[in-house]
Amino acid sequence: MIGVQRESSSLDFKAEITGKPGEIAKDIAAMTLEGGILIYGVAEDKKTGLAASIPTVPLAGAEERIRQIVAGIAPLPAIEIRELRKAETDEDGVLVVVVPKSEKAPHMTNGRFVVRNGTTTRELTEHEIALAYESRMRRNGPPDAVALLSDVDLLPGLDDIGPQTAFDGFGRVRMSARPERDALTHPDGAQLRRALDDAIVRARAQTDSALAVYRPTTLLEDLDDWRPLGTEGWGAGWAGGDEAKLSARPAAAAVVAYPARVTAQVSIPTAVLNNVGGPEYQCAYEGKVAAELYAALSFAAEFFARVAPVDLEVAAELSGFSGAVSYYASHARAGLDSVAYMKPAADGDLRALRVSHDELVRAPKKVAQQLLDRWLVTFYDGPPLLDYIAPDLQNSTRLV
């Protein structure tokens, strides 16, 4: 460490532990927004910021004093304290205070909110305090599904959808994912393009392996043409088109908006036509819905694996399925004369979850099931849908 380790926004050297309680509290509170470590008993070179020597500090009563000081920070942050001695009998040594990134940030000390700014400490601005409180409320409350889907307007071609007058015609599956915390930023330019392309390749391989039916998915087929959307982010696919095109084939689009939010949409034609080309009834095509949602979640997982493997908030929105009946009930029964007796699907559903990145990468089936269950139960009375589409045997091991 000596002559090698340099002070930074997350590392602070203190030669002594005799500072005023207010200064110690300020140093610790400033670390709570992003996390960091304070090391007492190490002196730095004032010119280079490198650790220069280890004068050590008295350890007797030091931890108790630090914890008493921290008790005056509101709300009380979690800290870890470790004592390092050269020999077990030494009375002096190095005191390490680990300050994890806090779920309760911002923390106030002496009437101020502070943050580590490089190797110094400054007060948060009013705007930063408001954002920190908003972030705290979002972390501690349920995810806001509407806010998660706020980037829908950026989807390529969304405004190009023609009037739907011939039949009701289209169900829509939307998925959005973003980091649980707001601090994530993107690599820029071609680096992000590579991350997107790599995520699509991996998601295709993963879904082709895991899905027993409905592969390849429309979403992953259509996301080949990633293109920059100015300062907004990147987009791929096309959500629009006239009614004739949309009725012939599902359409898909996705956008990755700054900072680090993924939103995807698939429009699925729901009309089942009679012998003369007119609409006969609406079909929910719930297997297709489940497969496309599975694919969207897999893409989000693979993308964030390349940008930053963080815990996520995910949301799904299903709409346009009002009056549609189960595919497995209507198509799989020979000689069906009428669907009038079948329970129709609700128009849609909107739901949001918090998931760990590891869970989303290794078990997109489980997350998809959680997002779909409330919608499926309104009309679906078949086998466990996700078990049929993505059997456990095929979904148990992620491709490496």
Q: Is residue 1 part of a domain?
A: no
Burial class (CB in 10 A: 0-12, 13-18, 19+), 44: buried
- Mean pLDDT score of the chain, rounded to an integer? 84
In angstroms, what is the C-alpha Rg of the chain?
Answer: 27
Q: What CATH number does residue 37 fall under? A: 3.30.950
Give the domain-ending residue among 106, 121, 140. 140
Question: Pick from 80, 105, 140: which residue ends a domain?
Answer: 140
Q: Do 99 and 206 reside in the same domain of the chain?
A: no
H or E stretch covering 66: helix 62-70
Same domain, 203 and 93: no
In a domain, 166, yes or no: yes
User: Which among 180, 328, 337 is positioned nearest to 261, based on CA atoms?
Assistant: 180
CA distance 97 to 65: 12
Task: Report the alpha-carbon distance of residue 36 to residue 334 in Å, rounded.
Answer: 65
Residue 329 CA neighbour count, 13 Å, CB half: 21
Please give the full DSSP string across 197-240, using - where no structure is assigned: HHHHHHHHHHHHHH-SSS-S-HHHHHTT--EE-TTSEEEEE---
Mean pLDDT is lowest, of 86-95, 326-335, 344-353, for 326-335
pLDDT surpasses 90 at 297: yes
Structural domain contains residue 17: yes
> Of 90, 113, 140, which marks where a domain is finished?
140
Q: Are residues 289 and 382 in the same domain?
A: yes
> With pLDDT > 70 as the criterion, what percentage of the chain qualifies?
86
224 pLDDT more than 50: yes
Domain count for the chain:
2
In the predicted model, what is the mean pLDDT of residues 321-345?
78
Share of the chain above pLDDT 90, in %: 36
The range of the structural domain enclosing residue 184 comes to 145-395
**pLDDT at site 249:** 81
My answer on whether 105 and 161 are in the same domain is no
Q: Do 289 and 372 meet the contact criterion of CB atoms below 8 Å apart?
A: yes
User: What is the predicted pLDDT for the residue at 132?
Assistant: 82
pLDDT in tens, 87-136: 989 999 999 999 998 888 889 998 899 999 888 899 998 888 888 877 77
Same domain, 79 and 200: no
> Rounded to two decimals, what is the model's pTM?
0.66
CA atoms within 13 A on the CB side of 155: 31
Q: Are residues 166 and 108 in the same domain?
A: no
